[in-house]
Copies of this chain bind each other. A is one copy, B any other.
Amino acid sequence: MPTTSPRLRTDAAVNRTKILDTAWEVFATEGLGVPMSEIARRAGLGVATLYRRFPTKEDLVAAVFSEQMVECGDLLDVALSDPDPWHAFCQVIGQMCAMQAQDRGFSKACVTAFPNTAQFRASRERAERGFAELVERAQAAGALRRDFDLTDLTVVLLANSGVRGDTPEATNAASRRLVAYLLQAFRADGGAPLPPPAAVSLDAALR
């Protein structure tokens, strides 16, 4: 039976993590234009090691974003099959914020424009359409206030991105508290008129 040295497997996993973490950081802060050689340098690895794992830049970009994109799409699919549109809306907001509190890359992958390949544009548009449909259903059911605006999702994710505790548990607790307050405010019986929706994009949060 062929075996692989556990030591080798560990090194490979460590290198892969290093590459993906570094690439995520670099793409998020400087965009997709940074050369592969620079990503290898910052990850502390040889450029050959990088190309062995990710033969093209597109492979690397896809690896960095695909996991989050799939999660984001799944989340919306589950919500859209929920017969209770208010419950579905709350689940999506709550789960996106929980994932964001645990992994700051998640909501960026859901809403940002920068992996601007056809595949990611399509996933993003699908997510946006899905969320818009969810909002429409929850408003039609009289559960979500009529002046909830699609840009409010960005406000929620930006606000949630600012919430940080001294420990992951504290960050999660603070995020849950924020989300619980916001969901109460979003209920149709929540009340008074709001100031106009904000012209914010999540891309601003990446700078």
Chain B: minimal CB distance from A202 (Å): 10
- Give the number of residues in A that approach B within 8 Å (Cβ atoms): 44
Cβ contact within 8 Å between A191 and B180: no
The interface residues of chain A, by DSSP majority, are classed as helix
Whether A173 touches B159, Cβ cut-off 8 Å, given contacts A181-B186, A182-B185, is no
**In the complex this chain forms, how many copies of it are found?**
2
Stretch from A28-36, A55-63, A136-144, A164-172 contacting the other chain: A164-172
Known: A174-B198, A182-B182. 17 other contacts (CB 8 A): A152-B177, A155-B177, A158-B162, A164-B200, A164-B207, A166-B201, A170-B199, A170-B204, A173-B200, A175-B198, A177-B196, A180-B194, A181-B185, A184-B184, A184-B190, A184-B192, A187-B191
